[in-house]
Amino acid sequence: MSERRIAMVGTPCEIMAASKLQYYTDSPIEVKLGLFCMENFSYKYFTNLLKEYDLKMDDIEKFRIEKGFVFLLLKTHETLKIPLSVAKRIIRKNCNICVELTSETSDISIGSIGSEDGWSTLIVRSEKGEEIINGAIEQEFIEAKPFNESQFKLLNSIAESKTRKNMEFIERREFLARPVLYQREKSDDSIASEVSQSEFKDLKSNVIDVGACVLCGACEYACPDNLISIDDTKPIMKGECPPDCHACFAVCPRTFLPEDLRNDNSKAIGEFIRVLTVKSLKHTQGQDGSIVTTLLDYLLTNKIVTDALVVDKHDNLAWKPYAKITRGIDEIIKSGGTKYSVCPVFKALSEVD
């Protein structure tokens, strides 16, 4: 087993893949910091959309999505807003069947909904998460205030509306015989039996070819024979699978979910211990309250983890995300800020022995 203990940051679908890796394998992931996520975009289509506004990715200082608009804060200090009704066409198809807003299987979830500017909304979900937040408050890495009833109502109603809207998509897909396996309620025994009969070709026909792949890279990471590779759009397999390997099908967040991990869609933000509104006392360069950066700083400083798995952007391809493993706080600060497109986050885990 690896000596490394990793804190990872990810969207709800990536956190679900991390939870499945923990469930099915000897995973080095120790702490899961989940982001809120309403939707995500294709990098290529986003670049093309910007061309319609005579802009390039390199012209953008920061992205924000709120109140029905994508706000582009330009390097010239101007702001341009694109209605989400226009940006809808560049949303990845898999996001239409995603019913989770707040990373329900994380230890701690973080987003901006409900909090004032410069603050973040934080959901503590596990005992481990509770210990981390108590320590971070005590050591003055973060300050926290209670999340009041009206803030809670807003978060709940946005989470509910995402689930409701996307459940309608799921019903339509299932009606057209395009399976949405991760929303099927099966017993653990029945899942074990399905997994034992499945391999990459089943992942391809039930997830990848039907537009359900979230491009997380967990299948590539889990393949013991390195047969899977991921380009910008989908995983591809070359070679012959050994008998009795089902790893890629098991860990994919869009195949069947074990009962313990399955979302209860009647609980808008899932199970939790408490919700807070929080602000960093150490960092300011992040997307909202710089809480992700600060919690990673706290976890590394206190040696609770050995490394962090974060998503940075390429130096020579503006806003193009890529995942990396680091233990350097400067690298973590540099990775702050939201990149509104996907990358296979688990690719970076392959470097961990």
Among ligand FAD, ligand SF4, none, partner that 241 touches (CB below 5 to 8 angstroms by kind): ligand SF4
Task: Show Cβ contacts of residue 124 under 8 Å, excluding neighbours closer than 6 positions.
Answer: 107, 108, 130, 133, 272, 273, 274, 275, 276
Q: Does 216 bind ligand SF4 (CB under 6 A)?
A: yes
* Pairing state between β 108-111 and 120-124: antiparallel
Amino acid at 215: L
Binding to ligand SF4 (CB under 6 A) within 13-52 occurs at 13, 17, 37, 39-40
Q: Using the structure block, give the residue that is written with the tokens 């994380």.
A: 106
- Cβ proximity to ligand SF4: between 47 and 263 the closer is 263
Q: Does 94 bind ligand SF4 (CB under 6 A)?
A: yes
Q: Does 8 bind ligand FAD (CB under 6 A)?
A: no
- Cβ proximity to ligand FAD: between 40 and 96 the closer is 40
Host H or E run for residue 80: strand 79-83
Nearest distance from residue 1's CB to ligand SF4, in Å? Answer: 20
Q: What does the DSSP assignment read for 18-84?
A: HHHHHHHS---EEEEEEEP-S--B-HHHHHHHHHTTT--GGGEEEEEEETTEEEEEETTS-EEEEEH
* DSSP label at residue 58: G
Going 143 to 144 to 150 to 152, the CA torsion angle's sign is: positive
Q: Using the structure block, give the residue that is written with the tokens 């996307």.
A: 166
Question: Which range binds ligand SF4 by CB under 6 A, 12-20, 56-64, 293-301, 306-314?
Answer: 12-20
Interface with ligand SF4 (CB under 6 A), residue from 199, 297, 307, 312: 199
Q: Does 289 bind ligand FAD (CB under 6 A)?
A: yes
Interface with ligand FAD (CB under 6 A), residue from 96, 287, 306, 326: 287
Q: Does 309 bind ligand SF4 (CB under 6 A)?
A: no
- CB 297, CB 332: distance < 8 Å: yes
Measuring CA to CA, which residue among 146, 124, 173 is closest to residue 272?
Answer: 124
Among ligand SF4, ligand FAD, none, partner that 33 touches (CB below 5 to 8 angstroms by kind): none
Q: Does 113 bind ligand FAD (CB under 6 A)?
A: yes
Interface with ligand SF4 (CB under 6 A), residue from 170, 252, 310, 323: 252
Binding site for ligand FAD (CB under 6 A): 9-11, 35-38, 40, 65, 110-113, 120, 286-293, 310-311, 321, 335-340
